[in-house]
Homo-oligomer: A and B are copies of this chain.
Amino acid sequence: MIVDVSKKILIVGLGLLGGSYARILKRFGFYISAITKEQSSIDYALDEGMIDEGTTELDHRMIGDADLVIFALYPHVFVEWVEQNQQLFKSGAIVTDVTGVKRSIVYKIQEILREDVEFIAAHPMAGREVSGVENSNDKMFSGANYIVTPTDKNTPEAIHTCLELGRLLGFSNVTILSPEEHDEMIGFLSQLTHCIAVTLMTCNDKENMEKFTGDSFRDLTRIARINDVMWSELFIENKDVLLNQMDMFMEKFKELKAMLEAEDIEGMRKMMRHSTERRALFDKK
């Protein structure tokens, strides 16, 4: 479906991600419409030639025209939107999303959605410390991962469409995971790291530390500048996995602390060598 640029794409939520989607997809010639909260975002996007039309209203014609609807909203807003407005979708439309948690979203949406509309979930693993359509850009996804999380309710055609969308958007890696595998992976690589960064940033309010900060501390706390509305919601939506992983981290941290207490220099060195070896796997290729 995607390769056919005569199809119409509606983006709901024109922020950093939605905006970058619009910018990139418009270049391929698709007809792009957008629904978002702020008129200023629509004005900006029209001005930049990123969309063909946009509104802050629930425009029935615009929704009913769309062959592909991309939701770039907070998880609970997305679910509510579908609950309240799904009667407006065109029959045969494909719906996708950008939500950072999957188990709690995918099954719920597929459960409530009309039979003649298909939801295929995806997670573009890309973010910044900034937000808003004004910060969107067309290089946003270079080097990043796009993960499609189908269930047995999805058709091969919709999965294919979603994979192709990821490739069109310029993601370097486009992969399929189950919602469960996705949440396990994202809990560790993204949510646990945000928990750690926020903790490090708030556990010591001593003054004047910033005068002596080097790159290590800055790197570990870059993501401590955090969107509190979105992340608190993502944490709760993946609570069981994240709690386990927080425990796992604490167990290991206690091991290191016990070795330091005992001045077990060989034990610490062994852990550091393991760390060094394993980090090499994660270098940018």
Q: Quick check: is A28 within 8 A (CB to CB) of the other chain?
A: no
A269 touches B229 (CB 8 A): yes
Contact of A232 among B194, B205, B213, B268 (CB under 8 A): B268
Q: Quick check: is A44 within 8 A (CB to CB) of the other chain?
A: no
Contacts of A203 in B (CB 8 A): 248-249, 251-253
Q: Quick check: is A155 within 8 A (CB to CB) of the other chain?
A: no
A275 touches B197 (CB 8 A): yes
Q: A201-B278, A249-B199, A278-B202 are in contact. Are A272 and B217 (CB under 8 A)?
A: no
CB-CB contacts below 8 Å: A233-285 with B? 233, 235-236, 239, 242-243, 245-254, 256-257, 260-261, 263, 265, 268-276, 278-282, 284
B249 touches A212 (CB 8 A): no
A253 touches B246 (CB 8 A): yes
| Stretch of A19-27, A55-63, A105-113, A220-228 with 4 or more beta carbons under 8 angstroms from chain B | A220-228
Q: Quick check: is A126 within 8 A (CB to CB) of the other chain?
A: yes
Q: Quick check: is A156 within 8 A (CB to CB) of the other chain?
A: no
Contact of A220 among B144, B185, B220, B245 (CB under 8 A): B220
B260 touches A243 (CB 8 A): yes
In the A-B complex, list the 7 residue pairs whose CB atoms are closest, starting with the nearest: A228-B272, A203-B252, A228-B269, A232-B268, A201-B275, A198-B275, A224-B279
Q: Which residues on A are within 8 Å of B, measured CB to CB?
A: 125-127, 144-145, 147, 173, 175, 185-186, 188-190, 192-206, 209-214, 216-229, 231-233, 235-236, 239, 242-243, 245-254, 256-257, 260-261, 263, 265, 268-276, 278-282, 284
